[in-house]
Amino acid sequence: MNKRQLKKSLNKKKMVNVALASTDKKNEAKTAVKVETKVTKKETCNIKAITKKQVGEFITTKEEVVPSGSELLNAGAYALNGEVVFFANVNTNKENAVVASKEYDTIVYFTEEVNGWVSKNAEKTYTKKDLVDVIYTAVNTMIEEYNVQ
């Protein structure tokens, strides 16, 4: 069965017009063309909630979060393309590029809480367990608010 016979049989059975893609010069006018559309609104995707285990992976040790001799500038989590990323900017390292350029979809800061865990001079001190609970709640609240939009 050739293309012409296939087209006729499909048209009879389903009563629809069928265009077959072809490199045939005779059928060039009938080739399928995909229309491109421009997206004017920024596409958003739902962000999955995080677990306490993921928070625990971010705050493994005080030295890893804030190296000795460094000062914590800010700490938080941002969402970008459906993924949650934790960050801690200190004065001895270059600032997180996504945070500096504000290219994230949504962000939450918990600088004071992290500082309360790493520094003895903070107003309120946190244990690692307390810090995990605070960050877990803050990030999941951010995610819920973002997903509602």
CB 76 within 8 A of CB 108: yes
Q: Show the tokens assigned to 142.
A: 């951010």
For the chain, the domains span: 1-36, 52-148
Each residue of 16-45: pLDDT tens digit?
333 444 444 444 444 344 334 333 334 557
Does this model's pTM top 0.75? My answer is: no
Helix (H) or strand (E) holding 18: none
Q: What is the pLDDT of residues 3-14, one digit of tens each?
A: 566 555 555 444
User: So what's the pLDDT on residue 20?
Assistant: 42
